[in-house]
Amino acid sequence: MKNKRKVVDLFCGAGGLTLGFEKQNFESVLAIDMWSNAIDTFNNNREKKVGIVKDISEVNEDFIKQYVKEHVAGVIGGPPCQGFSLAGRRSEDDERNKLYQEYFKTLSIIKPDFFVIENVAGILSMKNGEVKEDIIKRAKKIGYNVYLDKLIASDYGVPQNRVRVFFVGIKKELDKGNFEFPKKFSYKVTCEEAISDLPSLDNNEDNTKYKFLPNSEYQKYMRKNSNVVYNHEQTSHTDETRKLISMVPEGGGIKDLPESVRGDRKYSSLLRRMNSKAQSNTIDTGHRTYFHYKENRILSVREAARIQSFPDDYIFSGSKVNQYKQVGNAVPPLLAEQVAKSIVNYLYGSEK
């Protein structure tokens, strides 16, 4: 096994993007985020505690030199995407939209072989495409060619129809001019294949013990280093809420309810129930109106983490609300791994 290549993760969150790169023999030497709960999760799941609570606007050359002692192969990260999201109201003046500019400031200090920026699809149309063009322009100015593509997580073994944009920058002197994003898998993983072995939360089962042996390759992969179920707790619902959930059919949503029950709820993505035989909708940071395909409740943190492709031995810290947010904000590790694999093959050859 070759020595591990080094990466720095900006806006690392709970560490989904880093985890994918670690699967391709990368090692994080520095990871920063403003959110202490996410940094706790990042560090608690790694032998080397390189996660630091830090405002990226305060990162300078002296700070980088303090933590980065070796050549860094890549800088990776997903600047907060709320300002770009197509799911809610977008504001072009949202301060979070400027954080990618701080990303490039740090990138110009480290000067890695490559960089990766992950974000929601809305970044492509923000300001009529000006943000996308600005990212490309900034990258070229400091010596990188940029490739970008919209990837659907379910095409890469993740049981979720999550659409995200990836910008991959390659240092010009290393670039051969033909980088390709990962090819789609020949199969897709369903919700049932992803989470059916987790204990029921409706039947007073022990929520730390698996229901049965893995019955899918995905479950085997998720449980590879785990004998205990973590972060799998029931959310208290009122009888009224459970009754409402029970009226939503599998794979259905608010439009399937009688008008008398819908009331003034107009948002079509409200009150959705998983389809056990298909892929999940995008796991977001709230999870308050997305229901288990069989049980009358929202998903547990562990079920959401499974849908995001976090293995079962990856444990989330903080309050349950914070855990949901960490999971929802994360890059699916299996998707990140495929992007990392394409970069490794392109820059360093197929060997890890």
Question: Residue 145: which H helix or E strand, with range?
Answer: strand 144-152
Q: Is 191 one of the catalytic residues?
A: no
Backbone CA torsion sign across 226, 77, 68, 53? negative
At 112 the pLDDT is: 98
Distance between CA atoms of residues 101 and 134, nearest Å = 9
Catalytic residue (choose from 19, 81, 168, 339):
81
Structure tokens at 153: 């997580």
Specify whether the CB–CB gap between 290 and 303 falls below 8 A: no
Render each residue's pLDDT in the chain as its tens digit; 352 residues.
568 999 999 999 999 999 999 999 999 999 999 999 999 999 999 999 999 999 998 999 999 999 999 999 999 998 875 444 445 554 545 555 578 888 999 999 999 999 999 998 888 988 788 889 989 999 999 999 999 999 999 999 999 999 999 999 999 999 999 999 999 999 999 999 999 999 999 877 899 999 999 999 999 999 999 999 999 998 888 998 899 899 999 999 888 888 777 766 655 567 899 999 999 999 987 667 899 999 999 999 999 999 999 999 999 999 999 999 999 999 999 999 999 999 999 999 855 4
pTM for the model stands at 0.93
At 288 the pLDDT is: 77
Report how far Cα 8 is from the mean position of its chain's Cα atoms.
17
Percentage helix, strand, coil, to 5, in the chain? Answer: 35, 15, 50
